[in-house]
Structure 1
Amino acid sequence: MLKEAKASEGEIKNLRAHVEDLKVYPEFPLFMLGLEEEYVLYRLRLLSSYIKECEETITKLKRQKDKVEERIDRIKGTLFYRILKFLQPIIGSIWIVREVDELSASLADIKESIIKAKNNITSLSFQRFKLKHVLRMIKSSKNNIINEEKDYLESEIKLWTAVINRLNEQVRRLLELVKRPRVGIDSELRQLCEREECKYLILKEGLQILRKKCRYYPDLFLQPEFLFKKLEEIGDLLEESKKVANTYIVVISHPNIRKAYLEVAENARSDLYIASPYISPEILADLLDRVKKEVSVKIIVRRVDDYEKVRNITKNMANVKIRLGEDVHCKLLINESEVIISSSNISKQGFDVWHEIGVRTNDPNIVNQAKMFFLELWGERKSYKEKYYGKGEISMDGPIQTAFISSYKNIPQLLFDILNRAKKRIVIVSPYLNYGAIKKLLSYVSKDVKITIITRITRQDLVMGLTDPEAITYILDRCKDVWNDPKLHAKVLLIDDRFAIISSLNITDKGLTKNFEAGILTQNITLINVVEKFVSGLRIKRLNTKDLEQEFEASLSTICERHEPEQPRLTTEIEKIPPLPPPVGANLKLPRIRVPLRRRFTGVRGRDKTSKEKGGRVKKKPVPIDLRILEQAFIIAILRLGGRCKLNELLNEVERRVAPKFIYFPWKLQGPRSLAGKSWRDRLVLESCLKFLTEKGLYQIQLSIEGDNVFVKPANIKVFKDFMERFSHFFEGVMK
């Protein structure tokens, strides 16, 4: 079909030559006849003026003749004249006789002039007659030529109608060709569009000439107008074909991510939007160096320290604005005509270390949707709308067959709907996994479907609580095809080679319920094959329970050494994004890890005898549940801070880092009675809790406050090792 639709160079040359002929024919013969007609008419007007002058001259001469004759008759009628005339031979000519002679001579001259004028009129009239005959001949020739022109124009209209209909068919077939699924720009299609556009412009020029020639013929006047309207419709189809032919979507991954980001930033003409939760200052500085000074740049970051770093870099750049979005996790780079949607932050790890994936496209629908999504986050728009693609049969038009999705409408519900449609296999690529999120996700997958999961298990992720060991244990029980890539940071979902999702979404509780994520959903088989090839390269090593246990044991020894510095104090005010409506998954209920709240007994369970005399053991009073959780939280926080810290540091660490990891945390105490209802941050409550835990704590580990210093010190190594073993429940039971 592509070869059939191509317009040959010979056809274009013939069309151009035909238009040139249309410009000339038949205007040249008509032009010559028109000149002759003008000349004859001019001669006729001139002859008519001469004849009129001659007639006026004859009229004047006749008046003079009448006057002279009247004078002569009056003089001859007198007696005196007759006497003098009689005596003329004797006395000669007397004055009155001489006057009569002179008048007679003048009368003869007048008569002669009249005869000459009449002769001139006769000659001029004959010439006028001949010119009128010539004029009739010219008009007859002109009418013949006009009739010939009319016949010619009618044949031209038929010819142009056929050519325009053929062009219409070719352009429609071309539109079908360019709408076929593809990834990059097809150079053959672009050349084809250029050729068809060349034909369109030639036809438009010729049709304008034809319309001008037909305006003198009432029965032909409307036909070129109809053809012109049809040609305009073809022009709209051709413009659409050009846009579609120039539309592309390409997968970007290491080592091309940095280059793609720099190119999109450099191509920005008026606006550049950046959403990156984590940013490396030197990478951002390099990117902003490529941006033109007149371009307005808007940046959204997630962390306070990144906000300060970016603010320091851009303090002298008036065209750069930055805002803090604590729940924004999407990775976007948008200019007027292109967008990058990826899993990579603008950081050294994202560009140079981790295995990342993203897409770069100039599809107008995706670019506009991503731009509106960013401006909604920024606070400039409050009417963001997004189509939900999970209802009915999923179908996306266009050559790239790809749509923009976000947490406002499609994430996570679209994932559930697509997973529910899986028939053969699914591939989940996510560096971080939480038990509740992965269990919820896999609950929509049929048992007959093969599940492949690629994730990242590292010591640091386990220490920071980014991945739940319980989640890994769950997926190892559910499916056997689990892989580990230590450098993984890509987020991909593949379903039956029919759908692919590339996004910033981690399969975590925050990713599904709290964070604002963005990505693309595609049905483009070519794009899916490229993603499949990328994913196959991520299968570094199969994951098993033994590897998980080794990493987990190593992480336990690392957590005591971990010390995170305090957040820097900002020298500028933080400008946050405005409050946003909750994501669509905000009310999603995820499964939780159920861990029994064990109580400490010294006796045998089920024996209620309280005296040694009766053969039983004395039962100790159980530690209140709230204080057990607080004890774990305090010890974990102090160990993370190096074993000794300030009181405020302890409180901040517990509140920001440790407490959110618990399924339940006693923000207000329920027991013992003396502390019930009070906030755990209260200094007196804290001292009472620490004192109570020191005396009756489970782990027999000393927690003390000396002034503003808080420290933890185990009674002996054995007790400390026992604590570390029991500490594993923190990972297994209460971390998300």
Structure 2
Amino acid sequence: MKCSWREGNRIQLLENGDQYYPAVYKAIDQAKQKIILETFIWFEDEVGRELQRVLLRAAQRGVNIEVLLDGYGSPDLSDNFVNELTAAGVIFRYYDPRARLFGMRTNVFRRMHRKIVVIDNTVAFVGGINYSAEHLSNYGPEAKQDYAVRVEGPVVEDILQFELENLPDNASTKRWWQRRRHLPQENHQPGEAQALFVWRDNDDHRDDIERHYLKMLAKAKREVIIANAYFFPGYRLLHAMRNAARRGVCVKLIVQGEPDMPIVKVGAELLYNYLLKGGVEVYEYCRRPLHGKVALMDDHWATVGSSNLDPLSLSLNLEANLIIHDRAFNQTLRENLQAIIDHDCKRVDESMAPKRTWWNLGKSIVVFHFLRHFPALVGWLPAHTPRLALVEPPVQPEIETQDRVETQNSGAKP
């Protein structure tokens, strides 16, 4: 499947679960025929239970529903929770579920990291927000800052077709010699309300999202803002950011200052000297953990999706982003990110970067060699073909047998 730029879309930015969940629930309540939902994380908390309730309501109306969860990200849903859905007719699958080994999860690589919802062929959601209470602003200091988009229009058909072609009955995995690289889809007639659905897989679309970032950085004339939670990209992308800054483009990077995992900040800090000396402005978001994966360029281009700029997302995981060409959307996202920079970030200067010692120089050399060669090193990682596991609905007693038991208990004749 190959998607093209689509015109005439209505695209809405959704910030955090406070805006995202009500929009998703409303769309599910309005579904008439089909719902497809993919997510990395679904927790059995207040958010997860509300999602279950709206899906059950849709199933009871006769809507066909398919759910795909990642076996690593969502390993702890109870049997009762899942059984209620499957008993109502929801097709429920796990991507690469695996038993723990000595209490540790072994399905670390090649995760299904997409966050997509498609309702009929009318509305879709793409972004980085999972289904858990930690995406709500009232969760506390650990609440995550994140984004998604709600979209209506012709691009929804592309997203739906992608989902239908990647359902287990239709999905196919190619041999390495059958794969071919897809060039970034050019927008030959830039306009407004345009959108392009892009994804990353381990077949023909192994670096599609990264190549769109590279193309964007090469074409930027005035400004680039990248907000990315797990920032440890390949050498090509780092080099493209520096090149853009040296051309006079104002390149701003927002990373985690209060990370949910300390190693995230350690990795990003190793890149600070390289970026700062190239003229890139680096900001640490300090209000709470940053979970967003968004970017914008100049006045029109923007992207929102599930893909981090780290080795997992760029070389292993299944990801999906929406590329948007629209002045109004670009401005909305820019105002949001600029407000974050102004009020919730501290700008990184050379005093905050790792000191220039022989030890840090050695670490930097190792890091850059790793980033330069990581795509080739992926071949050394576990290369099994992840499986999809269907959760069978619970066995229901036959109505006739149940009636017979009830009749016998009442003493009446069948």
User: Aligned runs of 1:487-498 on 2, under 5 Å?
Assistant: 487=288, 488-498=290-300
Give the whole-Å Cα distance in 2 for the aligned partners of 1:501 and 1:510.
19
The aligned counterpart of 1:330 is: 114
Change in 2 beyond 3 A, CA 1:394/1:419: farther
Tell me what 1:405 maps to: 198
Whole-angstrom distance in 1 between the partners of 2:326 and 2:300: 8
Secondary structure, counterpart of 1:538 in structure 2: helix
1:430 to 205, 220, 228: 228
Aligned Cα RMSD in Å?
3.4
Q: Percent identity?
A: 15
Match of 1:277 in 2: 40
Q: Distance in 2 between matches of 1:395 and 1:298?
A: 36
Alignment match, 1:481: 281
| Amino acid corresponding to residue 130 of structure 2 in structure 1 | N
Query: Could you say if the C-alpha distance between residues 393 and 377 of structure 1 is closer, same or farther in structure 2, counting changes exceeding 3 Å?
Result: closer
> Could you tell me how far 1:499 is from its partner in structure 2?
1.0
Gap change, CA 1:405 and 1:495, over 3 Å in 2: same
**1:67-78 counterparts in 2 under 5 A?**
none
Output the CA distance in 2 between the equivalents of 1:394 and 1:513. 28
Q: How far 1:508 sits from its partner (Å)?
A: 0.7
Structure 1 unmatched ranges of 5 or more:
1-180, 182-243, 551-591, 597-659, 668-736
* Amino acid corresponding to residue 315 of structure 2 in structure 1: T
Residues 390, 418 of structure 1: 8 Å contact kept: no
Quickly say closer, same or farther: Cα 1:262–1:441, change in 2 above 3 A: farther
Q: What is the one-letter code of the residue matched to 1:360?
A: R
> Which residue of the other structure, out of 373, 388, 393, is the alignment partner of 2:162?
373
AA at the equivalent of 1:358: A
Q: 1:305 to 1:445 in 2, by over 3 A?
A: closer
Structure that is richer in helix per residue: 1
- Report Cα offsets for 1:521-553 as digits up to 9, x if no partner: 122111111111111122122233555669xxx
| Aligned residue number for residue 414 of structure 1 | 212
Give the superposition deviation at 1:261.
1.8
The answer to whether the Cα contact below 8 Å between 1:396 and 1:402 also exists between their aligned partners in 2 is no
Seen in structure 2, the aligned counterparts of structure 1 residues 519 and 305 have a Cα distance that, compared at 3 Å, is closer
Q: Which amino acid aligns with 2:209?
A: I
Match of 2:189 among 376, 395, 398: 395
**TM-score normalized by structure 2?**
0.66
Match of 2:246 among 432, 443, 447: 447
Tell me which structure has the larger Cα radius of gyration: 1
Does the Cα contact within 8 Å between 1:452 and 1:479 map onto a contact in 2? no
- Say if 1:481 and 1:315 are closer, same or farther in 2 by CA, change over 3 A: same
Opposite residue 411 of structure 1, the aligned amino acid is I
Q: Which residue of 2 aligns with 1:90?
A: none
The offset of 1:369, in angstroms, is 1.6
Whose relative contact order is higher, 1 or 2, with alpha carbons under 8 Å and at least 6 apart? 2
Q: Quick check: 1:302 aligned with 2:70?
A: yes
**What code does the residue aligned with 2:300 have?**
R
Once the two structures are TM-superposed, the CA of residue 479 in structure 1 deviates from its matched residue by: 3.0
Cα pair distance change 1:335/1:501, threshold 3 Å: same
Give the TM-score normalised by structure 1.
Answer: 0.39
In the alignment, the residues of structure 1 paired with residue 245 and residue 333 of structure 2 have an alpha-carbon distance, to the nearest angstrom, of 23
1:500 CA drift (Å): 0.9
User: Residue 439 of structure 1 aligns to which amino acid in structure 2?
Assistant: L
Q: Structure 1 CA distance, aligned partners of 2:339 and 2:111?
A: 31
Q: Deviations over 1:167-202 (max 9, x none)?
A: xxxxxxxxxxxxxx9xxxxxxxxxxxxxxxxxxxxx
Alignment gaps of 5+ in structure 2: 1-6, 97-109, 138-142, 174-180, 356-362, 368-373, 382-414
Query: 1:594: how far off?
Result: 2.8
List aligned pairs for 1:472-621, cutoff 5 A. 472-486=272-286, 487=288, 488-539=290-341, 540-541=344-345, 542-547=347-352, 593-595=364-366
CA shift digits 1:111-154 (9 cap, x unpaired): xxxxxxxxxxxxxxxxxxxxxxxxxxxxxxxxxxxxxxxxxxxx
Instruction: Determine the C-alpha separation between the residues in 2 that align with 1:349 and 1:466.
Output: 23
Residue type matched to 2:68 in 1?
I
Is contact 1:331–1:343 with CA below 8 Å preserved after alignment? yes
SS in 2 for 1:306: coil
> Does 2:52 correspond to 1:258?
no
Flag the structure with higher strand content: 2
1:451 and 1:508 mapped to 2: Cα distance?
18
CA 1:404–1:290 in 2, change beyond 3 Å: closer, same or farther? Answer: same
Q: What is the distance in 2 between the residues matched to 1:268 and 1:530? A: 28
